[in-house]
Amino acid sequence: MRQGASPAQIQTVVDRVEELGFRAHLSQGEERTIIGIIGDERPVGIEPLELLEGVERVVPILQPFKLASRDFKPESTVVTLGKGKKGEVSIGGKAIVVMAGPCSIESREQLMETAWAVKESGARVLRGGAYKPRTSPYSFQGLGEKGLELLLEAGEIVGLPVITEVVSPSDVELVKRYSDCLQIGARNTQNFSLLQEIGRSGHPALLKRGMMMTIQELLMAAEYILSNRDYDVILCERGIRTFETATRFTLDINAVPVLKQLTHLPVIVDPTHSTGRAALVPPVSRAAIAAGADGLIVEVHPHPERALSDAPQQMKPEAFVVMMKELKAIAEAVGRTL
Ligand code: PEP
Ligand code: MN
């Protein structure tokens, strides 16, 4: 719509869009209102909408993802976690945000020790898994709701928002009550009923790229979450499967600038699951920030050798603090802060 289009003009366009059998998605920016027209335009043609009063332009978005597309929303989205709480943090702005914590929540002591350590090193979000999507059914599956209670408590004590994975649509409401951000793991990024449930929850979400997903498929998964809700979805590159076996997965560093071009959503990198080895996390994290990532999600454990999951890749707090200092320099070199 033109700058200064009246509410009545906007409503007329919305009504016409719906009459034509599309869904209208209103996005009220500071300067102007954009009405997203969602649906298959081929049978109808939307150009005549340009004749309605107050309409500036009708722009066909050729990408199959619409709400996630930068054509649709040119300004970058900033996602706030822990809104109104101590430790509230924004992702997608100038500041690089590091999320850190153990792979799995194992006990109160383990979690509290990690939470204090990562907070003191400059992490802004506490991570920890309570529902673990393990490759083997015989591996530790997480503490479930008990783990969520510990995570919420630890976040409140140290003053950090918390993020944790949800693996089943029926757990979304429960996990939402305990966490500031719902994590969708690589094994679930194309679980469309989970994505729709998370969309309906209206809660901030972190969507990891599946290990066998293209960038376009990742954006289509984001599109499932975004319909009819705020834009608070963060994307995460965490490595994909290639022929390479020297590392656990292959971090697709290209995905960072490609995603930043294609979408307005914040993009972070997981250097822990992509490499699978703690020693590789610092150099890969530096590369991610240099490539334009808005943040990182890193596994830290006070005693990795005793960890119940992902032992080889979890960093010790002593190594994490050193890495954070190095990352600050990289962030500043690319015009960001940490
Ligand atoms: C995790 O972050 O705990 C995790 C399981 O990662 P991914 O889904 O990327 O494998
Ligand atoms: Mn893990």
Which CATH number is 44's domain given? 3.30.70.1140
Q: Percent of the chain at pLDDT above 90?
A: 88
In this prediction, residue 281 has a pLDDT band, given cuts at 50, 70 and 90, of: very high
Question: Per this entry, what is the length of the chain?
Answer: 338
Domain encompassing residue 206: 79-333
Residue 167's alpha-carbon distances to 182, 204, 276, in angstroms, are 10, 15, 21
Q: Are residues 30 and 103 in the same domain?
A: no
pLDDT of residue 71: 87
Q: What is the CA radius of gyration of the chain?
A: 21
d(CA 34, CA 1): 6
Helix (H/G/I), strand (E/B), else coil: 293: coil
Alpha carbon distances (Å) from 32 to 17, 141, 149:
18, 48, 43
Cα separation, 319 vs 199, in Å, equals 37
Do residue 168 and residue 285 come from a single domain? yes
CA of 298 to the centre of ligand 2 (A): 9
Are residues 35 and 121 both part of a single domain?
no
- The residue ranges of DSSP E strands in the chain, in sequence order, are 23-28, 33-38, 79-81, 89-91, 97-101, 125-127, 162-165, 181-184, 205-208, 233-237, 267-269, 295-299
Residue having the nearest C-alpha atom to atom 4 of ligand 1: 185
Question: In the predicted model, what is the mean pLDDT of the chain?
Answer: 95
Within this chain, do residues 184 and 297 fall inside the same structural domain, yes or no?
yes
CATH number for the domain spanning 92: value is 3.20.20.70
| Overall average pLDDT of the 52-66 stretch | 90
In this structure, the residue with its CA closest to atom 6 of ligand 1 is 185
For 53, list phi and psi in degrees, rounded to 5.
-65, 140
Q: Ligand 1 atom 3: the closest Cα is on which residue? A: 103
Same domain (yes/no): 160, 227: yes
Q: How far apart are CA 215 and CA 223, in angstroms?
A: 12
Together in a domain, 20 and 139: no
From the CA of 186, which ligand is nearest? 1
Q: Is residue 61 part of a domain?
A: no
This prediction has a pTM of 0.93
